[in-house]
Structure 1
């Protein structure tokens, strides 16, 4: 059933504005192309970000959100701000992403009478990632589980990027199976990420991620230290900002790696394509993902991939075809995979071409946006 008529509106609720255009741009453009008014809500807009969203045809709106904080008062403020906005602007559809927008945005939309409400679970995050357990992590998981049960009971559809996350949420009773939809990766606009010639000299291995333990940053650093000792010509690039999440790696540790000389750190890059052009192999040793956007971008640019045989990550690699899968937290296996590309450089071009083919097959953002809108009744 068609849900939207021309010039009716959709509200997209995001938790992090710096990557908003990069992640949501194709969807915003597709909605605007169909004549839909698109409210793009995010915290802490800068003037530059507002211009970027407006250039896509979206309507940028600030709302208060503490992305990683645990203050009930701050969260209540976010919830009430969303309720007020929905009652004032009366969007026909609300679509949310990530933990706090999913937990608070859907109930706020329901309270305001928004006709259709959907959430995207892009990954389970720190509290659901296996590994180190402590009281704080268990408490957060318990609280978030309760919030998800309430929120997803009020959602019409909940989209997942990989089957492992979908099955875990169903098994935990966080969402009813009939509401859960497997979407696959959010995709990339392939025309903006064209394949680049293979980069062979020097062999360069790149990780692009927020500096979190669960992204496998420490494993990447240790593998780099070991391989660099045997192959001093090899380069290792770590591109990504510091973070405030519980698993954040401190700046002093990262700078110690740089000082030792086995790794280069770029704290922030507005455009990572120049770095991917000088990359031989993309590496993401993450413990768990939705389906990682950075890997999809690297694949689009014809880069082989080393990643973990973990939920979300494994969706991006066909073992031995476009790269290699290694166990999470296994520095030795990661080191061996990196070493293989150095010893067999012909793999870089062959597997890179396979990455681009798989990106075209699985991760075309325009096709994925069309499917998402179709699932929400937006024709």
Structure 2
């Protein structure tokens, strides 16, 4: 029996993002191991229910600690030698680096990495001082070393692929671009949008670069002329250095500008109760899963002209593209859809068609399985 090990720094992502892939691998007769550092009862249960085996590892999600990272790398190498998988799939920054170095050292026969965005180390919006330049240079060296030992590197958009080529972090003949990980189009079925009151929804980790503060500021502007409009924010704080804090969010909630239910495991009910999905990110993305889910459920998407985000919208067809960090432009786009409900519904219907042609998660999972099981 072929054994495939998924290596990640976020246990919650296994069932949420890799569920269809796990099902596809098991359908092909594979044994699936899911290696992550932060399992809890819920994430273990969801992963086990899919048929994969959760395996605990030590791996920090963010930050740079050479001593800890070196120890984690050795431990992961030893673990992979003991588990003896036939193939590994790594995703997120640290697993892509240390997971692939460990897999190569453990002589795993097939090694595939997936780049789901460039991450904090390459985020120009986080600054460009000497420390940032040093971090970026170090990250480039680590990725170059890690990806030298991969069989394939999967990218979700052409901009990220181009960035890795430009900085010689991946060989062109190893790169594969799949245009997003997709969603389960049956599970995320289209539903009629809520038209009264018009309800905007932003789902994201609470990072500055997701445009959350810009979303709240635009909501405050829109509510002056459309006081019944609702603005919902879903998400939790993060270990990332760019994470917001409660002090950033609560003042907007206390003034009634936005509603903040926190983190929700299953977002479908929140999407069904919404009218428009908004992702005003100003830091580059891979290809946002949240926008894919929103389109699949028939919601128009307002997003920014930023790497990854702009790939999810045809302006004026299935949503609107606004300038990043431009609160006034975002408020105008929101107001346009409030005042033109027929256009909002038409864009949502186009979004579902867009999802059917671009975001079929089962087809994407078959592609990933083919890459993992290739001989």
Please tell me the TM-score bracket, short chain as reference: over 0.9
1:263 corresponding residue in structure 2? 258
Aligned residues of 2:89 and 2:372 also touching (Cα < 8 A):
no
1:90-109 matched pairs, under 5 angstroms? 90-109=84-103
1:121-270 matched pairs, under 5 angstroms? 121-131=115-125, 132-270=127-265
Separation in 1, partners of 2:273, 2:215: 18
1:350 corresponding residue in structure 2? 346
Aligned structure 1 segments of 4 or more residues deviating by more than 4 angstroms: none
- The CA deviation at 1:326 is 1.0
Residue in structure 2 matching 1:295, options 268, 278, 291: 291
2:67 corresponding residue in structure 1? 73
Residue in structure 2 matching 1:338, options 317, 334, 341: 334
1:286 corresponding residue in structure 2? 281
1:21-60 matched pairs, under 5 angstroms? 21-60=15-54
Aligned residues of 2:144 and 2:168 also touching (Cα < 8 A):
yes
- Unaligned 5+ segments in structure 1 are 1-6
Separation in 2, partners of 1:159, 1:319: 27
Aligned residues of 2:280 and 2:324 also touching (Cα < 8 A):
yes
- The CA deviation at 1:230 is 1.6
What do the CA deviations read for 1:287-316 (whole angstroms, capped 9, x no partner)?
Answer: 211000011111111000000111111111
Aligned residues of 2:112 and 2:371 also touching (Cα < 8 A):
no
TM-score, normalization by structure 2: 0.97
Separation in 2, partners of 1:242, 1:375: 34
TM-score, normalization by structure 1: 0.96
- The CA deviation at 1:49 is 1.9
Asked if 1:319 corresponds to 2:311, the answer is: no
Separation in 2, partners of 1:238, 1:313: 18
2:358 corresponding residue in structure 1? 362
- The CA deviation at 1:371 is 1.2
- Relative to structure 1, the CA distance from residue 225 to residue 135 in structure 2 (aligned partners, 3 Å threshold; closer, same or farther) is farther
Aligned residues of 1:126 and 1:214 also touching (Cα < 8 A):
no
Count of residue correspondences: 373
What do the CA deviations read for 1:87-139 (whole angstroms, capped 9, x no partner)?
Answer: 11211111100100001011101111111111000001223223233343323
- The CA deviation at 1:378 is 4.3
Aligned residues of 2:35 and 2:56 also touching (Cα < 8 A):
yes
What do the CA deviations read for 1:165-222 (whole angstroms, capped 9, x no partner)?
Answer: 0001100111111111111100111111111112100011110001111111111111
Separation in 2, partners of 1:147, 1:366: 32
Aligned residues of 1:242 and 1:249 also touching (Cα < 8 A):
yes
What do the CA deviations read for 1:324-370 (whole angstroms, capped 9, x no partner)?
Answer: 11121111211111010011111121111111111111111100011
| Secondary structure in structure 1 of the residue aligned to 2:248 | helix
Separation in 2, partners of 1:368, 1:235: 34
- Unaligned 5+ segments in structure 2 are none
RMSD over equivalenced CA pairs, Å:
1.3
